[in-house]
Copies of this chain bind each other. A is one copy, B any other.
Amino acid sequence: MRKKKLSHQIVNETKDAVLLIEANLDDQTGEGLGYVMTQLLAAGAYDVYFTPIQMKKDRPAVKLSVLGNPLAKTALTKLILAETSTIGVRYQTWQRAIMQRHFETVQTPYGAVQLKVATYDDIEKKTPEFDDCAQLARKHQIPLMTVYQAALAAAGQLAKGE
């Protein structure tokens, strides 16, 4: 697969707004939080992450953070209120600077791996797709690192040949 053909796949978004919704949870179990992460990602959240925090009365707690489309504010808020123990969320809009991305494919001794190519002005980064590497490592029963390094080496060759 060559670079040119993929040009129509380029994600042109380079600057936009992202919604961040947060809630502090000291009355929910970790089991419940793992379940909520899955629900929120299934509902279209861009990303969900947990931060360990410490609340009053010697309570270890977790801050739930959800990044999403500002248009999804009501849907994500209702999901958090329904599925967690919190009685409220706080939210804010952040600006973003995003690199343009497209994908290339390289051949390794273990099979094809996609490279994510991200560009921004004069910056270009090529990263092997983690899930491709993991799949090949499982298939060949070899360490993941072996596949990952092979993909990087192939990417390096590709760069030289261009």
**A26–B20 CB distance below 8 A:** no
Quickly give the copy total for this chain: 6
Nearest Cβ in chain B — how far from A11, in angstroms? 9
Q: A65-113: which have CB < 8 Å to B?
A: 65, 67, 77-78, 81-83, 85, 87-92, 94-99, 101, 109
Query: Is A145 close to B, CB under 8 A?
Result: yes
Of the listed residues A52, A78, A149, A157, the one surrounded by the most CB atoms of chain B closer than 10 A to its CB is: A149
CA distance A99 to B101 in the complex (A): 39
8 pairs across A/B with beta carbons < 8 Å?
A27-B30, A33-B58, A50-B60, A81-B97, A82-B123, A92-B92, A149-B153, A153-B153
Chain A contacts to B: CB under 8 angstroms? 18, 20, 22, 24-35, 37-38, 41, 47-63, 65, 67, 77-78, 81-83, 85, 87-92, 94-99, 101, 109, 116, 118, 120-121, 123, 125-127, 130, 134, 137, 143-145, 148-150, 152-157, 159-160
**B55–A47 CB distance below 8 A:** yes
Partner of A152 from B35, B38, B153 at Cβ < 8 Å: B153
* A52 CB contacts on chain B under 8 angstroms: 51-52, 60
In the complex formed, the residue of B with least CB distance to A65 is B53
**B130–A27 CB distance below 8 A:** yes
In the complex formed, the residue of B with least CB distance to A26 is B30
Partner of A27 from B31, B53, B62, B157 at Cβ < 8 Å: B31
**B33–A59 CB distance below 8 A:** yes
CB within 8 Å for A81 and B33 given contacts A53-B50, A91-B94, A98-B88: no
